[in-house]
Structure 1
Amino acid sequence: MSTTVTETVTSPTVDIKEKYSYDKLNAYTHPPETEADLPWSELVTLDLEDYGRPGGKERLAKQLEHAVHHVGFFYVKNFGIPHEEVDRQFTLAKNFFQLPVSEKENAADYNGWRRPGRRIMSKGIDNVEIFNFPKFTPEFAGKYNYPDLLNAHMSEIEKFQRELHANIVLPLLRLFAIILELPDEEYLVKQHTFDEKSEDHSRYMIYHPRTEQEWADANYGKGGGHTDLGTVTLLFRQPVAGLQILGEDGNWTWVSAQPGTVTVNLADTISHLTGGWLKSSVHRVVAPPEDQRSFERTGLLYFARPHNKTVLTPITDSPVLQKAGVHPRFDREVTMEEFVRAKQTMQLNPDIAAKRWAESKDGTVELLAGFRDKKYKE
């Protein structure tokens, strides 16, 4: 179950391609897995190889129903992207973060490079460095000045992003439609077409090692519980433990690195579109176990979102949602574009966010049109 993708970006010059060919880059290798005895999450693994077989979608939807309603996290495997292609993306991420600051600096808003130390966390600052690639669509063409390392491989980066959307995101949206018993299996797909304007993006991400004192100052990352703001987030296997899920029982469990899988979590938008029936998972990244704290934790992610014009009211054609009696989460019609801007105002302006949380009397802050964000148990 794979999709052929057409590349559209301009080819780099021969000199750039030669200078940054993979045989000249520092190859990425996964750090060793932890030997710590941790409370691991028990997550469903969907085998997307079954998707195209007779009755396969229905079997996968049945397997997925509990996870998307109660957990918000699961794994997928056999998604049609060769292991070598994934490894090359990790190698590009590793080499990008090793570039001098002068090459990484970028006139960016949400996309492009974001240096570590932007957010205050307890008494410390964050150790996270990020590079976001917007969707490869006309509205973003030429907007960002990428370093030569990335320009040399941009056609491959685009191909990878489009494959993630076609091979994982769209099949999952059809499974969600089946679970919701929608009369049109393509209902959610039509709100997530790649070429329509939306804020999907792929990401290279790195958590830099900290000293024990720095981890203590940052409360070991325990205050970072959050939900993502889109439809689904895809996270490629990363052996350095740190990702935790808040369960319905109020306990945090660790997400393990399963070979050959992508970890998927549901996010706010798909929850808004179902009145909360599909669960936007609460998660955080905490200090790794002691035997992994000296390693960098490199992330390779894709964030899928609906079209900017999508109105975030519960789907009316779902018998499942009708039976559950779900209600809108906003007190007026809110578009995806409005919700993204409101959420990013909090994410990208730590002073504004800190002030609003400090003024909160009940541990929640109104984000937009009556919908309130909240802080989660440490």
Structure 2
Amino acid sequence: MSSVEEIDKKYNVRPFIEAQPSKEDFEVIELESIDLSLFKEGPEYLEQRQELADKLEQSLSTYGFFSLVNHGIEQAEFEKLRSIAQSLLELPEDVKRQYLAGALTSDAEDRSVSLGAERGAGFKPRGYWSMKNGVTDSIEHYNFRDLQQQDLFDENRPYPEIARAHLPEVAKYFRYLHSTVLRKLTILCDIILQLPEGFLWENYFKVITGDKLNSGSGFGRFMLYHAMKRDDEEKVDKTWLRGHSDGGAFTFITSQPILSLQIRDYNTGEWKYVGHTPGGLIVNIGDALEFITGGYFKSSMHRVVSPPDDQRQFKRLVLIYFCDPKLTSIIDPEPLNSPKLKSLGYNKPKEWEKITFQQWDEEKGRLFGKKDVNDSKGDDPNLVLLYGRKAEGPFSLEDAKRKSNSIKV
């Protein structure tokens, strides 16, 4: 058996070269920065946690995005994981085809046998997602599933050699995000919602070894954006990844200097660039947490657009963790019984069917990147209504109902 050092040499594992900051003049949002080193447990630090929670609430109830600093992850760990991701995503196409997460396109998926390349374990190839005007994406990624469970390391699981060699580092990173960073954030959310500290963690996100159905979970992704052809870029209005909301609870993204990520202002509908936080994580709310809070926390639309010309020679590589509540969670505000939500008037809308996170995750995942959703004439995908809720498309549920081109599933 080859050593890790031999495998790294075989696959040319080397430092990933980040882009230099753009010199072009773009207006960017400076997200609220949450300093996690200020989070301290114990009754004597309650006031300090309350101050952090107040700051976090401003972000969660407006943009649904914030940056996280002093989270406990060293820069060297980010750099090591990016070097592994770079080599994994450089594997020859014939090798990648042996480890596909699903079909070659979203519309070709048989969801009865596969989660699809959007959520399944393995590679998503370029050209998998439809965009508009006949253009498909130029993004590829590799997903790691069951990161919080011991069977991640099962010898019978099919991993490329370079991925299996570094499973311990990969698991350590994503498990730290879940067990330490996420747990602290959920406690701050408890304070915001006037719930007992630990409520969200115990009831939605706690990991139970060997019980995937009733355990908090998530999946990790190494994601690489390749440059699109210029004529394709023009056909999609320089959008590399269509506007969308995430289906889960929290998404953790490594901040990087290429100016491409935009979020849609929940109130004005304007697209705004997200600035870079060196060494930081960009965190956003997903649909599940918006539903759990009755719409108080915002699962905002976001997208990726082509970078400025002075950054086009660099590749945009990000490490992402999509954090999910347990599959059996009821995703509406009733189980919370939150005094804060009640006082603000956030209740379960009558249109919402009572569903579990598993139902939402499966149906939302099935829609992502399909031609009839993404191939729209406008700036956004077609509006999709699912279980009485907005699955894709901009603005509110009321807007979706008024749109003649909304899709009801």
Same fold (TM > 0.5): yes
Are 1:325 and 2:337 counterparts?
Answer: no
Q: Secondary structure at the match of 1:322?
A: helix
User: Are the counterparts in 2 of residues 210 and 293 from structure 1 also a CA contact under 8 Å?
Assistant: no
Cα deviation, residue 21, structure 1: 3.5
Are 1:342 and 2:363 counterparts?
Answer: yes
- Residue 262 of structure 2 is aligned with which of 220, 230, 244? 244
Cα gap change, 1:192 to 1:199, in 2 (>3 Å): closer
Structure-to-structure mapping, 1:1-378, within 5 angstroms: 13=1, 15-21=2-8, 24-52=12-40, 54=45, 55-105=47-97, 106-108=99-101, 109=115, 110-123=120-133, 124-136=135-147, 137-138=149-150, 142=154, 144-182=157-195, 184-190=196-202, 191-195=204-208, 196-197=211-212, 198=216, 200-221=218-239, 224-247=242-265, 248-314=267-333, 315-329=335-349, 331-347=352-368, 350-351=370-371, 353=373, 364-367=383-386, 369-376=387-394
Instruction: State the distance in 2 between where 1:101 and 1:223 align.
Output: 22
5+ residue gaps in structure 2?
102-114, 396-409
Task: Tell me the number of residue pairs that the alignment of Structure 1 and Structure 2 aligns.
Answer: 357
Cα deviation, residue 47, structure 1: 0.7
Letter of the 1:287 counterpart = S
Instruction: State the distance in 2 between where 1:354 and 1:87 align.
Output: 34
* CA deviation vs aligned residue, 1:45-90 (integer Å, no higher than 9, x gap): 0111110172331121011111111111111111111111111111
Instruction: State the distance in 2 between where 1:337 and 1:293 align.
Output: 39
Instruction: State the distance in 2 between where 1:212 and 1:172 align.
Output: 41
User: Are the counterparts in 1 of residues 263 and 300 from structure 2 also a CA contact under 8 Å?
Assistant: yes
* CA deviation vs aligned residue, 1:137-171 (integer Å, no higher than 9, x gap): 15656474111111111111111111111232111
Cα deviation, residue 221, structure 1: 0.9
Cα deviation, residue 283, structure 1: 0.9
Instruction: State the distance in 1 between where 2:9 and 2:53 align.
Output: 39
Instruction: State the distance in 2 between where 1:78 and 1:223 align.
Output: 29
5+ residue gaps in structure 1?
1-12
Cα gap change, 1:92 to 1:253, in 2 (>3 Å): same
TM-score (norm 1): 0.88
Cα gap change, 1:374 to 1:346, in 2 (>3 Å): closer
Q: Secondary structure at the match of 1:328?
A: coil
User: Which is further off, 139-148 or 127-136?
Assistant: 139-148
Instruction: State the distance in 2 between where 1:332 and 1:49 align.
Output: 40
- The alignment's C-alpha RMSD in Å is 2.3
Instruction: State the distance in 2 between where 1:223 and 1:99 align.
Output: 23
Instruction: State the distance in 1 between where 2:391 and 2:4 align.
Output: 45
Cα gap change, 1:354 to 1:27, in 2 (>3 Å): closer
TM-score (norm 2): 0.82
